[in-house]
Structure 1
């Protein structure tokens, strides 16, 4: 779906949703003239400061070479040498949506006017996004202290020294101080994080619908989602989760009692377990919103005070820790989904045949879905391992900490993919159980959701391969995400 609404780039108000629009929906960008003027002023201050004092990366080397002063007759080529030496990435090319996301984030960061790059580089990024001209960028080479290799490859592509993946632009000159100023950013890691956050937020929304279907199939108790229960312990995520379950099931309208005095944890503790994942997603969004609008380049060119500051804003500990926390919370949510699938194949809980089988004695029904779900859950558990427990000491010992936020972002993308499969297995089980039981569904949104799922998912009574149904169920989950309320 193409989004024709342009994104105004000011350096101050880019949203995560805007990054997704540019990365995946073809939204164009419009660089604010005032932001461009401020970037030009930062360029002038940086240029003049380099003539008066040592400025890291402009008049000196970088890393442990910070005290190596660039000879006056070598300054003109220093920037290109720096870009060439740092464009040493490896691995597969980054996906196009990640590259687009990185370009729009880096453009917006540069528009915040703290880097000191020449304004023509902002115009070049704007043109690249408008023309969908994408550099080829290697995935590997960052540890959470700046996406140096990826951004150096992008800069060299703009300069005409590396190929574009498709259509390209005319080369842009690189000023002597542009190199470090351009690559001193985590824009690529932020793009990967924003896209993973977007996908996960959609799945978390859809999971309310799937759990509501399982609730109906298992004839759950409405007491666990009561407003009185959740206002007594008012965590934001669990409050929202319980409210969404009441909305989907119309539980505020004198619902019938459940089959059991107390349900298994998969239903009874759903708000308490799912809520932290919702809150972790919100916390990540707040961090991303700050970072995609930040002038975090080292050194910072302060145009108001006309000063140059050397600092450690390249560190992405906030981002890495938020991603680690989100994956941990997601793992708990996925465990409950797998638990509900196990409940759905248990006759004591559904009153239906074991494994929801409908064939001769010994038929397996959807038995294999538990294996698939727990395989995906195992992948998610592995991806949930915290990356922030490690560090790196590099550049002759000078750079002695790394957040590994890049790895955290990619682990989060892997976790999201696994969670989608777990939810798909539960969805198949819930829909099959409802079909077999012929239960009357309440006049509520959950009934509409069942109609959508029943239309998309075939009903084959006898044992048969389920691979195609898992793929279809994952597509249905996307529809549920589109139909669900936001938090």
Structure 2
């Protein structure tokens, strides 16, 4: 079996796909030597600057204690006190993939060379990732101004003061000034966001395939996906969505007309509704790519000018707003999937029996799938509520704004899970309708997708429990995203 190629960490070139893959598959990492050199230079500048001027969190307290000067004789313990006081997270343990993602992102950010932590902390994170030694990290404690509690727990675990959830390393010394420099990041929130983004992009691609199956079952019109239509109003997401539908269905200028002059919105307006979700996912990816490669620590150690800058880069308004916008767009896309499911159980549109039933009169067929889909849609609707309308005033009034990006990331994860169920219900309906109608499929990717789905989803004509099929359909979505 070939060895896994390590992921090279430079501080500048980490992308979202790398983060998601490493978080899910425990990929080993190696540190670029130039990144370690940058970190060492930043450490020296930070250490020397603290002897010449006040440096927030190094020679002073934090928050409203910013003017409290740390006694030089007690400086060695200041960092540990800061970590101990901030490791107050609560709630459930974060999943392993989120913790791995947080370790990886924090390592890459530190490799950018703006924090001033001792280089041995970078080595410790590298070793933890390579050995898959995972700190025990709790979910609750951040409001979008730095993942202080989770990163303090990680730092204290590296220092040997807290137990690992899995594996272990020899304790790493915490240098004076390391504490705030290490926890001044939103790495955990970014990890949650990257994983949600990764899963959602897969589901958005799967939706193209499932909609193509529904299109065939409903005898849809190709006009709604015509290139000329979308070039006349060229929003990138809508153009891409229509192009995906033409490819999946093998549509060209001579495509046969559909059954109706005007299709239901679930087909006719699909590119216009699904397109904004594609665009929102692209926007989120751009924000995430910047942030996972950012030296955003406060204060910033500027190694080019050998200066220290105090600032507000801990704010994650860009991330929170991108996540809020994505969930709003996703809700519209999910609504349309539920609408197509309703179309699939309507005899006037399918020319089949009500609810695609195949038993005696009064049989329910897949009637219950609408309930399941709308339950999931309601969960998504609640998750789509914007978090950026709230704020917080804390630390004796000094810190008077918060983005709540952490909560936006949690809500996005919940929304993705709900969307998965909605799509699974539509998939079951489309496959059942195509089986019953025996509609000939075009020699295009949609035909191969139907064969793959039909191979996994059993056809049981009589009324029966559908829960197992929903689970199977949810697992199929990753495969359907590849057509």
TM range (shorter): over 0.9
Are residues 239 and 115 of structure 1, via their aligned partners in 2, closer, same or farther at CA, if it must alter by over 3 Å?
same
The aligned residue for residue 115 of structure 1 is 115
The offset of 1:206, in angstroms, is 0.4
The reply to whether residue 22 of structure 1 matches residue 22 of structure 2 is yes
The aligned residue for residue 271 of structure 1 is 271
The offset of 1:2, in angstroms, is 9.8
State whether residues 30 and 126 of structure 2, in contact with CA within 8 Å, keep that contact through their aligned partners in structure 1: yes
The aligned residue for residue 351 of structure 2 is 351
State whether residues 317 and 403 of structure 1, in contact with CA within 8 Å, keep that contact through their aligned partners in structure 2: yes
The aligned residue for residue 234 of structure 2 is 234
The offset of 1:445, in angstroms, is 0.5
The offset of 1:26, in angstroms, is 2.5
The reply to whether residue 130 of structure 1 matches residue 130 of structure 2 is yes
| Equivalences for residues 178-197 of structure 1 within 5 A | 178-197=178-197
- Aligned counterparts of 1:3 and 1:326: Cα–Cα separation in 2: 37
The offset of 1:233, in angstroms, is 0.4
TM-score, normalising length: structure 2 = 0.99
| Equivalences for residues 150-229 of structure 1 within 5 A | 150-229=150-229
The reply to whether residue 416 of structure 1 matches residue 431 of structure 2 is no
The offset of 1:253, in angstroms, is 5.8
Q: Secondary structure at the match of 1:388?
A: coil
Deviations 1:28-59 (A, max 9, x none): 11100011011000000000000000000000
The aligned residue for residue 373 of structure 1 is 373
Please, which runs of 5 or more residues in structure 1 have no aligned partner?
none
Q: Secondary structure at the match of 1:305?
A: coil
The offset of 1:311, in angstroms, is 0.2
The offset of 1:165, in angstroms, is 1.1
Select between 154-163 and 17-26 the one with higher mean Cα deviation: 17-26
- Aligned counterparts of 2:38 and 2:439: Cα–Cα separation in 1: 64
Deviations 1:89-110 (A, max 9, x none): 0001100000000000000000
- Aligned counterparts of 2:275 and 2:150: Cα–Cα separation in 1: 36
Q: Secondary structure at the match of 1:179?
A: helix
- Aligned counterparts of 1:406 and 1:479: Cα–Cα separation in 2: 30
TM-score, normalising length: structure 1 = 0.98
The aligned residue for residue 243 of structure 1 is 243
The reply to whether residue 140 of structure 1 matches residue 124 of structure 2 is no
The aligned residue for residue 34 of structure 1 is 34
- Aligned counterparts of 2:77 and 2:399: Cα–Cα separation in 1: 25
The aligned residue for residue 285 of structure 1 is 285
State whether residues 4 and 26 of structure 1, in contact with CA within 8 Å, keep that contact through their aligned partners in structure 2: no
- Aligned counterparts of 1:109 and 1:442: Cα–Cα separation in 2: 49
The offset of 1:166, in angstroms, is 2.1
Q: Secondary structure at the match of 1:8?
A: strand
Deviations 1:256-281 (A, max 9, x none): 11000010000000000000000000
The offset of 1:227, in angstroms, is 0.2
The offset of 1:5, in angstroms, is 2.4
State whether residues 273 and 333 of structure 1, in contact with CA within 8 Å, keep that contact through their aligned partners in structure 2: yes
The offset of 1:3, in angstroms, is 8.3
Deviations 1:417-441 (A, max 9, x none): 0000000000000000000001111
| Equivalences for residues 246-325 of structure 1 within 5 A | 246-252=246-252, 254-325=254-325
The aligned residue for residue 446 of structure 2 is 446
- Structure 1 residue ranges, 4+ long, deviating more than 4 angstroms after superposition: none
